[in-house]
Structure 1
Amino acid sequence: MSRNNSMYKEAFNRSLDYISMLGVKAKLPAEVELSENWGISRTTVRAVLHHLDETDVIRWSGRSKIILRKPKKADYFAQAETISSSAKVETRFMEYILGGDLKPGAILRESELVREFDVSTSVVREFLIRFSRFGLIEKEPNRHWVLRGFTRNFAIELFDVREMFEFRAFRHLLTLDPSHDTRARLVGLETAHRAIIADIDGQYLNFPRLDEQFHHIMINELDNRFIVDFFELVSVIFHYHYRWNKKDEPERNLHAAHQHLDIIAAIQAGDNDQALTAFQTHLNDARATLLNSVIWDSEN
């Protein structure tokens, strides 16, 4: 896979996180296991390993892959380079809605969005079709897309489903062996959380992506295509802050980051009851935050 590909760059960054978790002198597992751990093809795994070897992060010789040093910030691709065209459209669409202060009933023209986002018509159309499954936008027969708006009742219904799926995923996570890769990856996010907490004023905008990663780790472990598909869509609402008031975002993100650490600490201690309590508290606060922070469209 080309190193200009955003998917490759995102996979490479994930490999650096994995190496940081293992530590210097540790040995990377076989390519087939790395393919499963990183969610990429074996061809891409080999491309990543070549890159890691070139930059002296690892020494790769045959089946031997030994970690030589901890990754540095400069080793990572910039976040903007790891975002796919579809993900960029999600972000730009939310900015377009917020920045234009569009009201329910506003017309959304594909041709205008193509020019605004500088992507192909097919990418825009695919996103609008996926996003329309929320009911927030709708295609009028033989006409344009129409913004329907985001109501309080809609958010409550959405969160009810999110909570049901997430609790099932979290309970499943707690049944896994402590050495299981999924648990290790969730616990491995502790360092990233502490880095954001230590510089919350400068790093709070990076928390939504970390929050999404935290929740997706357990969701993906369920290996349920319907639940995974739901969370790919729900991230548009919860992680791009659709119609959210931004004035207290650093404080909200700081609070959520501390709650994540409480959950991680309980998992590390093997205290499932405390982990469940901490997770329920986190979801309760996330619901309250959403309902209290969103600028609601008319219920009529």
Structure 2
Amino acid sequence: MRGNSLFKRTYNRSLDLIGGMPLGAPMTSETQLAQTLGVSRTTVRAVLALMSETGLVTASEGRRRLARHPVAGDRFPEPQTESARASVERQFMQWVLHGDLRPGQLIHCAELARKFNTSTTAIREYLTHFNHFGLIERRPNSAWVFNGITAAFATEIYEIREIFELRSAHRFASLPDDAPAWQELAAIEREHHTLMAEIDTRYRDFSRLDERLHRLIHEASLNRFMRDFYDVISMIFHYHYQWNKVDEKERNSAAIHEHLAYIAALRSRDVRLIDLRCRAHLRTARATLLRSIDARPPGADADANDGLRAG
């Protein structure tokens, strides 16, 4: 079980949940924890067993209780917690971000599979997802071509993102108090405060935290098309923080404050306030994205299609 990425991912998420609990507090039941984390009770039992081994929880009066708070060393390294799809996504975007891919360039599944140490099937499934958006186009010879991201494309995708995210945020605010998403939101909020306190050395960690928050909000839509669309949003918006290095720390610090205001609005369940905070944050993201498209790296083609750094 401990070699399983699902187990490791669930364990790290469990650490986030217990991080805000007072010492001595009773743990929720296995059934409740399984529902909160969206996994089986077998996985939850394995998580609790490891927590007992490491002294995080102890059994007292027939109930498990929090014995100590998690520290950084308790967590599994992030690469070990990734699903196969997440691993392909991360490596593909790193490949794009490092400048190895240009608009018009052919992509060969077999080559990427060797590069990423995965199967050609996993690569094809990942690329197929973006085919109908025009970002990547399949060629008859089993190759794919990357079309790039223009400013016009970014503007179109932003308009759809705003519609979908506002709808999802409204749905999130209507969730019952005991919905697991609120616990996840609280964990993400704590991580924002931690990152803010360590912003001088960890400001580049913001992009993954940004992705977690917005994906959580989109998941609340319960709409398969909105949730599926978020993969495209992730590719374009999530990674744009990493393209333009100018004032990166300051931009990410400001975005953290916008996120915290957005989270507070969600918790207030005030639809007007949610709209205000959501639109303000998305406008900032759009402006940063468009600046990133204009800020082409040295040696890049001056063609307007060379907007892939906006991811």
Q: TM-score, normalised by structure 2?
A: 0.87
Q: How does 1:21-170 map to 2 (within 5 A)?
A: 21-60=20-59, 64-170=63-169
Kept in 2: contact 1:20–1:71 (CA 8 A): yes
Label 1:264 to 1:147 Cα distance change in 2 as closer, same or farther (>3 A): closer
Kindly state the Cα deviation for residue 58 of structure 1 after the two structures are TM-superposed: 1.3
- Superposed CA offset, 1:62-101 (max 9, x none): 9722211111111111122212332222122122233345
Kindly state the Cα deviation for residue 44 of structure 1 after the two structures are TM-superposed: 0.8
Aligned length in residues = 299
Q: Which residue is equivalent to 1:278?
A: 277
Kindly state the Cα deviation for residue 288 of structure 1 after the two structures are TM-superposed: 1.4
Matched, 1:298 2:304: yes
Counterparts of 2:102 and 2:132 in 1: how far apart (Å)?
19
AA at the equivalent of 1:27:
P
Q: Report the secondary structure of 2:34's partner residue.
A: helix
Structure 1, unmatched stretches of 5+, are: none
AA at the equivalent of 2:151:
R
Label 1:164 to 1:269 Cα distance change in 2 as closer, same or farther (>3 A): closer
Label 1:153 to 1:100 Cα distance change in 2 as closer, same or farther (>3 A): same
- Superposed CA offset, 1:127-180 (max 9, x none): 121232332111112341111111111111111111111111112222334554
Q: Which residue is equivalent to 1:176?
A: 175
Q: Which has the higher contact order (CA 8 A, sep 6+)?
A: 2
Q: Report the secondary structure of 1:189's partner residue.
A: helix
Label 1:234 to 1:60 Cα distance change in 2 as closer, same or farther (>3 A): farther
Kindly state the Cα deviation for residue 102 of structure 1 after the two structures are TM-superposed: 3.2
Matched, 1:206 2:195: no
Counterparts of 1:117 and 1:84 in 2: how far apart (Å)?
13
Label 1:153 to 1:65 Cα distance change in 2 as closer, same or farther (>3 A): same
Q: How does 1:185-200 map to 2 (within 5 A)?
A: 185-200=184-199
Kindly state the Cα deviation for residue 51 of structure 1 after the two structures are TM-superposed: 1.0
Kindly state the Cα deviation for residue 217 of structure 1 after the two structures are TM-superposed: 2.0
Counterparts of 1:228 and 1:270 in 2: how far apart (Å)?
21
Label 1:30 to 1:290 Cα distance change in 2 as closer, same or farther (>3 A): same
Kept in 1: contact 2:207–2:241 (CA 8 A): no
Q: Report the secondary structure of 1:141's partner residue.
A: coil
- Superposed CA offset, 1:264-284 (max 9, x none): 344556655434322221112
Q: Report the secondary structure of 1:240's partner residue.
A: helix
Counterparts of 2:62 and 2:52 in 1: how far apart (Å)?
13
AA at the equivalent of 1:282:
H
Label 1:60 to 1:260 Cα distance change in 2 as closer, same or farther (>3 A): same
Counterparts of 1:205 and 1:242 in 2: how far apart (Å)?
8
Kindly state the Cα deviation for residue 12 of structure 1 after the two structures are TM-superposed: 0.3
| Overall identity of the aligned pairs, in % | 41
Kept in 2: contact 1:98–1:242 (CA 8 A): no
AA at the equivalent of 1:211:
D
Label 1:100 to 1:279 Cα distance change in 2 as closer, same or farther (>3 A): closer
Kept in 2: contact 1:89–1:117 (CA 8 A): yes
Q: TM-score, normalised by structure 1?
A: 0.90
Label 1:103 to 1:181 Cα distance change in 2 as closer, same or farther (>3 A): closer
